[in-house]
């Protein structure tokens, strides 16, 4: 608690630097030593501090960032295999397993859902806008989308 009341600013700056390093290099083959080095801490101390601040170990955070990025890329036409390797996984089966554990969907099922939703937004965008806003914006009167 004392540490939170009187924060050591330099520790926060170093931890933020490490987190941003993960955010910017997640697709590369990085390891914990690289990240700890960026923060100028020993591996053990670094993991403990990182977890205190971000509620995840650096490895857990790296995995989370990769899965989040994969979710974004799966909203495009990129293949699941391409996405897997683009975000830094080196095994399709590990990626699929982790993705399903995090999202309850396989990557391909997630992609299908998201692309379907995108098409629906494109075809019938008013379905996604609360009617009160659509009316106030004049989209209902001026609608060319032929909706009921």
Partner 1 sequence: MITKMNHVSIFVLNQESAYEFYVNKLGFKVHTDAPMGLGMRWLTVCPPEQPDLEITLMPIEEGMMFKGESAKQMRELVRQGIFGFGVFECNDLHATYEELKVKGVEFKKSPTKEFYGFEALFIDDSGNWFSLGQKK
Among 27, 37, 47, 54, binds partner 1 (CB under 8 A): 54
Q: Nearest 5 degrees, angle CA 118-CA 123-CA 128?
A: 65
Out of 31, 129, 131, 147, point to the residue binding partner 1 (CB under 8 A).
Answer: 129
Among 10-18, 28-36, 78-86, 94-102, the segment contacting partner 1 (CB under 8 A): 10-18
Q: Is 136 in the site for partner 1 (CB under 8 A)?
A: yes
Is position 66 an interface residue for partner 1 (rule: CB under 8 A)?
no
- Tell me the HSE value of 114 on the side-chain side, using a 13 A CA sphere: 17
* d(C-alpha 136, C-alpha 47), whole Å: 51
Of 28, 55, 77, 90, the one binding partner 1 by CB under 8 A: 55
- Rounded Cα distance between 72 and 90, Å, is 18
Q: Is 137 in the site for partner 1 (CB under 8 A)?
A: yes
Residue 112 or 127: which CB sits closer to partner 1? Answer: 127
For position 113 contacting partner 1 by CB under 8 A, the verdict is no
Binders of partner 1 among residues 13 to 42 (CB under 8 A) are: 13, 15-16, 19-20
State the residues that interact with partner 1 by CB under 8 A. Answer: 5, 7, 9, 12-13, 15-16, 19-20, 53-55, 121-122, 125, 128-130, 133, 136-139, 144
């Amino acid at each position: 608690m004392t540490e939170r009341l009187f924060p050591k600013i330099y520790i926060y700056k170093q931890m933020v630097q490490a987190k941003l390093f993960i955010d910017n290099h997640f697709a590369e083959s990085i390891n914990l030593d690289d990240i700890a080095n960026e923060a100028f801490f020993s591996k053990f101390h670094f993991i403990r501090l990182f977890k205190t601040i971000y509620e995840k170990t650096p490895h857990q955070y790296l995995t989370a960032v990769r899965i989040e990025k994969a979710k974004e890329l799966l909203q495009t036409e990129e293949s699941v295999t391409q996405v897997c390797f683009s975000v830094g996984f080196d095994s399709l089966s590990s990626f699929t397993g982790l993705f399903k554990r995090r999202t309850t969907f396989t990557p391909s099922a997630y992609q299908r859902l998201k692309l379907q939703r995108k098409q629906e937004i494109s075809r019938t965008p008013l379905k996604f806008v609360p009617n009160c806003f659509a009316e106030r914006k004049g989209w209902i009167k001026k609608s060319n989308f032929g909706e009921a």
